[in-house]
Amino acid sequence: MTSSSPADLLQSGGASGTWQLDPAPSSITFAVKHFWGLMTVKGRFGEMEGTVDVSETGAARGSLTVKSESLATGIKKRDGHLRSPAFFHVGEHPMITFRIDDVVMVGPDLAQVTGALTAAGKSQPVRFDARLEATAAGPCGGDSAIVDARAVIDRTKHGMTWSPMGMAARVATVTLHLVFARR
């Protein structure tokens, strides 16, 4: 890759090919307000994989899969509760998936990503903005693309309605730092 912007690379066909997620430098974290906004529960997912296929015309489609059992907040009892049927129900739904349907560049390095998030067996449409960075020699060795994004997800639309007396916020903020390498 050259030093062109991600938008230029997509439009010119310079980003075409299959891009594989490198899980080592990548991270997916989440934050949810709890106790009526007095504290924030934070966590991360440890196991993920994904690919994005970019056509010669710049159209991008792909998927990101996260092992739901890999969530960790640093408190074993809370992690068990989040893995239970009240939330991710990892026994029946071991994977969380995000299907990438479209990536539209709205600036030189800013894209609007649309797709569907499936968690706890329920799928919902999702749209969020993402910053893209293209590098010639990134952490994956060779062509790399870095995606940084933040998405606000309404957990109740995925059947995660547990919240005695309304103590847990309906929405979670998911922060993505994803590093892809061209195969």
Residue 10: its pLDDT value, please? 82
Residues of the chain under the 70 pLDDT cut: 1-3, 136-142
Whether 130 is covered by a domain: the verdict is yes
Whether 154 is covered by a domain: the verdict is yes
Domain that holds residue 62: 6-14+19-182
8 A C-beta contact, residue 113 and residue 132: no
Residue 139: its pLDDT value, please? 47
Phi first, then psi: what are they for 36, rounded to 5°? 55, 35
Residue 143: its pLDDT value, please? 85
- CA–CA separation, 122 vs 124, rounded Å? 7
Give the model confidence (pLDDT) of 170-183 as tens digits.
899 999 999 999 98
Residue 67: its pLDDT value, please? 98
Residue 137: its pLDDT value, please? 54
Q: Please state the pTM of the whole predicted model.
A: 0.89
Whether 1 is covered by a domain: the verdict is no
Whether 115 is covered by a domain: the verdict is yes
8 A C-beta contact, residue 144 and residue 179: yes
The count of structural domains within the chain is 1
Whether 167 is covered by a domain: the verdict is yes
CATH number assigned to the domain comprising residue 81: 2.40.128.110
